[in-house]
Amino acid sequence: MEDIQSQSDLYRSSSSSASSPTSRVPSSHFFYVRKPGSLTQPISFEDSPEWEDTDDADVRMDEEANIGGGGDSINDATATPISPSLSKINSGSMTSPPVVPEGGGGNAVRKIAGASITWKDLTVTMKGKRRYSDKVVKSSNGYALPGTMTVIMGPAKSGKSTLLRALAGRLPPSAKMYGDVFVNGSKSHMPYGSYGYVERETQLIGSLTVREFLYYSALLQLPGFLCQKSSVVEDAIQAMSLSDYANKLIGGGDCYMKGLRSGERRRVSIARELVMRPHILFIDEPLYHLDSVSTLLMMVTLKKLASMGCTLVFTIYQSSTEVFGLFDRICLLSNGNTLFFGETLACLQHFSNAGFPCPIMQSPSDHFLRAINTDFDRIIAMCKNWQVRTPTTENIALCRPSQIIFRPCSKKY
Ligand SMILES: Nc1ncnc2c1ncn2[C@@H]1O[C@H](COP(=O)(O)OP(=O)(O)OP(=O)(O)O)[C@@H](O)[C@H]1O
């Protein structure tokens, strides 16, 4: 937490000036795609050491009990249901989550085996009604390393989600992809379980508690010999700072119960992917529909997750200065073009060198979007015309007298 704070402070102190220290920003980081890491082996679901370091004895005992006709060991362990909804489920054939002592299952920080991902000359086209459309992503280059947060940022419809889907190998059938994506230096496809992908809007089961939901997700997603490990659920709860909500109903949606707020719901949907202990986690707009406090909590939580070793790649529309300071690398898109890829501090320097220094007291992400998005100029021109046409008391202060009285605007919008 102190590390995160200090990184954010470091960033703020440098971002308040247009001329960020060049000594900290090697120019070689601009548009530079290096083959990351020394790892050259493709990743797989089972090769993560994390699966080995958990207590296998628990699982063996459970299996023995089952073989010996001892019934469902998890059900036995939870003779007292931990929530009202559980009792309903227990009347069926479903198992219930293991009881966890108050405060979670221990505070040991578990390392996650991240993987590096590199994309080179990545181009994506989408098929329209008749033919393939213009390129949605054009010759994009970049990389993401274990233990870091890489953000894909840009205006609306700039191709952020498409690039993220292309990296995760989740493009729709109507898309065509050109170029290369390397995972740990290898061109092989990412196997099931080695990565997680969180959609912009996800469906949760409102009638379950957070712990139940994650436990049943684990049962559905993980192979049999792994899914009984309660530690995967507890680790996911801990990693997404959900310990205080673990026994609360998710609510909302179709179940007409007041439940978690949007920030917590979003973290639950990320935790659902974490039960797989993915090497790489892709998130489409983690800050979608979140207020500023939830935004900061989400980003600090993701930073903590990255510091455990996971490789995080996500899209974002814009961010505050505090949040921007937490990113490690930024891929700035506009109309499918990668305008910048590199470290966040280098991005400031890049724009400054290009004649667009970030003004003092302005959020860097706002500044970048303002600089690359021509829609802003159109809107500002429109506002000026509007001020001229409707001289209110506030507008009078902004306009010259000649503009107010003698210049009728003939243009219609
Ligand atoms: N399945 C699809 N079929 C056809 N066109 C698509 C498809 N998905 C995306 N596009 C087009 O690709 C372009 C980029 O869309 P994309 O969703 O990647 O942008 P984005 O930056 O994530 O935008 P936003 O943040 O507003 O969702 C848009 O013009 C969109 O219409």
From atom 3 of ligand 1, which residue's Cα is the shortest distance away?
126
| Centroid of ligand 1 to alpha carbon of 163 (angstroms) | 10
The CA distances from residue 389 to 380, 394, 402, in Å, are 14, 13, 12
- At residue 394, the pLDDT reads 55
| Centroid of ligand 1 to alpha carbon of 171 (angstroms) | 11
| Centroid of ligand 1 to alpha carbon of 264 (angstroms) | 27
Contact 122, 135 (CB under 8 A): no
In sequence order, which residues have a C-beta less than 8 Å from that of residue 247 and are 6 or more positions away? 82, 83, 209, 210, 211
For the question of an ipTM over 0.85, the answer is yes
Check: pTM over 0.80? Answer yes or no.
no
- At residue 152, the pLDDT reads 95
- At residue 253, the pLDDT reads 67
Burial label, 324 (beta-carbon count in 10 A; 0-12, 13-18, 19+): buried
From atom 16 of ligand 1, which residue's Cα is the shortest distance away?
159
The CA distances from residue 244 to 78, 103, 104, 333, 366, in Å, are 20, 8, 9, 37, 34
| Domain annotation for the chain: domains and CATH numbers | 2-41+112-194+279-372 (3.40.50.300), 54-109+199-274 (no CATH), 375-406 (no CATH)
Contact 80, 87 (CB under 8 A): no
The whole-angstrom separation of Cα 96 and Cα 104 is 17
- At residue 53, the pLDDT reads 43
By C-alpha distance, which of 413, 380, 382, 392 is closest to 404?
392
413: DSSP letter: -
Tens place of pLDDT per residue across the chain (413 aa)? 555 555 545 444 444 333 333 333 344 333 333 334 444 444 444 444 344 444 443 444 344 434 333 333 323 333 333 344 434 434 444 555 555 554 444 455 556 677 899 999 999 998 876 666 678 899 999 999 999 999 999 988 889 999 999 999 999 988 999 999 999 888 877 888 889 999 988 888 888 999 999 998 888 888 766 555 678 899 899 999 999 999 999 987 666 677 888 889 999 999 999 988 899 999 999 998 888 888 999 999 999 999 988 999 999 988 888 888 899 999 999 889 998 999 988 888 888 888 888 888 788 888 888 888 766 666 666 666 666 666 555 555 554 444 444 444 444 44
The two structure tokens encoding residue 48? 């993560």
If one residue of 127, 153, 157 were mutated to test the ligand 1 pocket, choosing by the most ligand atoms within 8 A of its CB, it would be 157
Q: Which atom of ligand 1 lies nearest, measured to the CA of 162? A: 18
| Centroid of ligand 1 to alpha carbon of 109 (angstroms) | 38
Q: Which residues line ligand 1 at a C-beta cut-off of 6 Å?
A: 126, 136, 154, 156-162, 172, 174, 317
The two structure tokens encoding residue 241? 């700072």
The whole-angstrom separation of Cα 147 and Cα 310 is 5
- At residue 392, the pLDDT reads 58
Contact 96, 212 (CB under 8 A): yes
Q: Which atom of ligand 1 lies nearest, measured to the CA of 128? A: 4
The two structure tokens encoding residue 107? 């505070």
| Centroid of ligand 1 to alpha carbon of 115 (angstroms) | 27
What sign does the dihedral 288-238-9-144 (CA atoms) show? negative
From atom 12 of ligand 1, which residue's Cα is the shortest distance away?
136
Amino acid type, 198: V
Q: Which atom of ligand 1 lies nearest, measured to the CA of 284? A: 22
From atom 25 of ligand 1, which residue's Cα is the shortest distance away?
156
- At residue 389, the pLDDT reads 62
> 3-state class of 269 per DSSP?
helix
From atom 2 of ligand 1, which residue's Cα is the shortest distance away?
126
